Structure formats: C-alpha cells, structure tokens
Amino acid sequence: MCPCPCIRFGELLLDPSGQLLGDLRYACEVEFWREGARLLEREDAAERLAAPNAGLQVWGSLRVVAESVKDGRVTEYAATAFVDALLDTGIRYPFPRGGFITWAKHNSLF
C-alpha cells in the first residue's frame, strides 16, 4: 500500500427491507500522487476499451465525483475541494481550480 495521502469513498447498501447488504469494507480509495501523474493520464486505455465487452461501465474520476454530488452524497463544496486537490497533484482537467461545478453543469453531469 502506498504511503500517499488518500480518501476512502464508500456507502452502506441496503435491500428494500433495510437489511445491510454491503458496508464500508466495500469502498474505493483514491490516492494522491505527485510523481508520475502524466504517465497515469491514459494508463487505463486498455481497460476502458475492454470493459464494454465484459458488460462493465467505465466512469472517469470526474464522473464519479459528479454522480456523488448529483445523488446528494457529497456537497458541491466538498467535491470542489476534492477535485482541486487532484489538480494540485498535476493532473490535467479541462478547467482551473474552483471550476469543477461550472464545468460539470455545462457538460450536463448534474
């Protein structure tokens, strides 16, 4: 495991009767790296191409954050802070710091 700073996202999954189906052990951890950010930009190209053949849907990091805001799991403020932290690692997105919400609305992600 990387000693990098990380954020863990998870949610409790319940069936219609309220029975717990999945807990926070089933989550996604996002690590913040500085070195190698450019190499990771399209590292997942093969997986993205193979996913539809396996019946999987692929979402990029910005879509995951936007869906979390849309579903009310994360505030716009927290999403902006998270995306700004990603920008601080050197990752390239099509907007500046503080621009995620405007960009997401412009692209009909909410």
User: 4 is written with which tokens?
Assistant: 């990098």
> How far is Cα 21 from Cα 79, in angstroms, rounded to an integer?
27
Tens-digit pLDDT profile for residues 45-94? 667 667 778 888 878 889 999 999 999 988 999 999 999 999 998 888 99
**Nearest Cα residue to 100 out of 63, 57, 59:** 63
pTM of the model: 0.56
Cβ atoms of residues 110 and 69 within 8 Å: yes
